[in-house]
Structure 1
Amino acid sequence: MGILGPTIRAAVGDTIKVHFLNKTDMPLSMHPHGVMYDKDNEGADGGKGGSIPPGERYTYTWIVDQDAGPGPGDPSSIVWLYHSHVMAEEEVNLGLIGTLIITAADKAHSDKNPAPRDVDQEFIALYMIFNEENDEESGLKHAINGRIFGNLSGFETRRGQRVRWHLVALGNEVDNHTVHWHGQTVLDHGRRTDVVEIMPASMTSVDMVPRSPGNWLFHCHVNDHMIAGMATRWLVK
């Protein structure tokens, strides 16, 4: 998972409660995409949960209604982002990012396990250029899950597995990414491809069944991003 925060899972019909403790020295929040909330649970722009001071706690309540779950053309589970939203631009670059995965109610394993039962493995990949030095080139880290130049591990699977890739992006106008797998194609909402386009705050989920063993490249196909290290590998045994 690299830099990403914990994955929060739910099925349509659930209620998510997040007990948030701010152990940093700056006010922070948790703002979710996709799920339903009232103003106090938005984690942004006012409301009780909009800015939690250092050392303080807050419990966010988010409703997983039908509109938070997969649509008619989606796979059985879909991905949403969450992130801090007090000074969102700065906090995202500090790595205060995570994901929610929401499963259709009739596709979950059980009431206690909301993971989709029609999938063997799920991988999450955040494509983002982290801006660590006020736009100076030396501080632009072209990363997948916060790691660069092949230093992200864990994308390991086997031939014949049903694998779902949850792809997300954040960042600036330069964060236009073309996610590419070597050795395999994916099914992207009915479209067969091996490159998926994502932009800042994009969220999409695609499926594959690996067919060919190998230690394959997984990278952004934008030339400047490849040169700068936005690449890792995925292993098929």
Structure 2
Amino acid sequence: MALFREYDNEKFELLKHGIKSRGNEASLHLGLQGPVLRAKPGEVIKVVLRNRLRFACNFVISGLSPEGGAADQRPIAPGEVRTLRFVVDATAGPTARDTTDTVAFHYTSDFYAAAVGQAVYNQAHGLPTTAAPGPFADYASGLFGALIVTRGSASHYSDLQPKDVNREFVLFMGILDLNKSPYLDLNIAQFASSPESVDKKDPDFKESNRMHSINGRIYCNLEGLSTLYSRSARWYVFSLGADDAMASPRWSGHAALVHGARVAAPLLQPGMGVVADIDHSNKGVWLLADQTQAHVRAGAAAIFVVKEKITEMCPMAPWSSC
């Protein structure tokens, strides 16, 4: 798999860790996702991307344009470092009609944006037209993540987390089709007991490589989906995949507030995202599953836990630091 990961500095020597990184309990549920990016209207997002893969990739944020235009979305070759800047203008933030103080976009590595970006770059620099990019790592290889844009300063804390909810979760539901990953042959060579006997055109083999997942995890193997009883949580849910990757998440025992209406399970088309607010008023262990039956039977399910609030009683002593 290929993964977006965040480093402490531009030397790419140490993965970012601590409370503001994915190395904490609140980020455990992200699975294969890259870091959650945050911004507010009027800011510029700077991304310094170093490609440590053996294949080309790029970095595309849905709904935002890089300062360099489409040419900035051309393939980033293995070993290359590229600096990208994205302006978050007013059109990318919540509007007066939005019922939440946040909106969300997904970012990924996109083959078609890379092909167009290369054509635009070549034309601008008088270079000959080239064929489409060769082996390319995209979302099917694991390259995806989320950007959360928050309303004005009165609605968020200093770290841009919204004030109107107690917890946030980011979910990507869809089909990771590993048949389209450039790592397919490498995986066969490494993991198949007899690689020479694998028929990549066999329908059963191809279906076995279509991962109906939540954040890249299947059959309730996603960790970190837990919140406290009577607390509110905001769930950012995206669908990625081909035309058969429609998603309809349902939180057992809970109803979601989406665009001001109570729903049991919102419907997402591929490439879409939704913001769902839930008041977790039912304690226990619950199932989060895609209501598209073909997906849930193939693994698109996870467990979420609503825990009892725990209040620690401090001893009445002057030296207590509880």
TM-score (ref. length: structure 2): 0.68
Cα distance in 2 between the residues matched to 1:85 and 1:225 = 23
Matches within 5 A, 1:1-237: 1-38=30-67, 40-42=68-70, 47-74=71-98, 75-86=100-111, 91-106=138-153, 107-110=155-158, 113-133=159-179, 136-237=206-307
Q: Kindly state the Cα deviation for residue 55 of structure 1 after the two structures are TM-superposed.
A: 0.7
TM-score (ref. length: structure 1): 0.92
**Equivalent residues, number:** 230
Cα distance in 2 between the residues matched to 1:53 and 1:137 = 30
Residues 103 and 114 of structure 1 are in contact (CA less than 8 Å); yes or no, is this contact kept in structure 2?
yes
Cα deviation, 1:130-156, whole Å, max 9, x if unaligned, reads 111357111111100000000001110
> Between Structure 1 and Structure 2, which shows a larger proportion of helix residues?
2
Cα deviation, 1:41-69, whole Å, max 9, x if unaligned, reads 54xxxx14422111111111111111111
| Structure ID, larger Rg | 2
Cα deviation, 1:159-198, whole Å, max 9, x if unaligned, reads 1212100000110011011110101111101110120111
More displaced, 67-76 or 176-185? 67-76
Question: Cα RMSD (Å) of the superposition?
Answer: 1.7
Cα distance in 2 between the residues matched to 1:36 and 1:115 = 23
Question: SS of 1:125's equivalent?
Answer: strand
Identity of aligned residues (%): 31
Runs of 4 or more consecutive aligned structure 1 residues displaced over 6 Å after TM superposition = none
Cα deviation, 1:10-31, whole Å, max 9, x if unaligned, reads 1122111011111111221100
Pair 91,36 (structure 1): closer, same or farther in 2 beyond 3 Å: closer
Structure 2 residue runs of 5 or longer lacking an equivalent are: 1-29, 114-135, 181-202, 308-322
Q: Kindly state the Cα deviation for residue 90 of structure 1 after the two structures are TM-superposed.
A: 5.5
Pair 172,49 (structure 1): closer, same or farther in 2 beyond 3 Å: closer
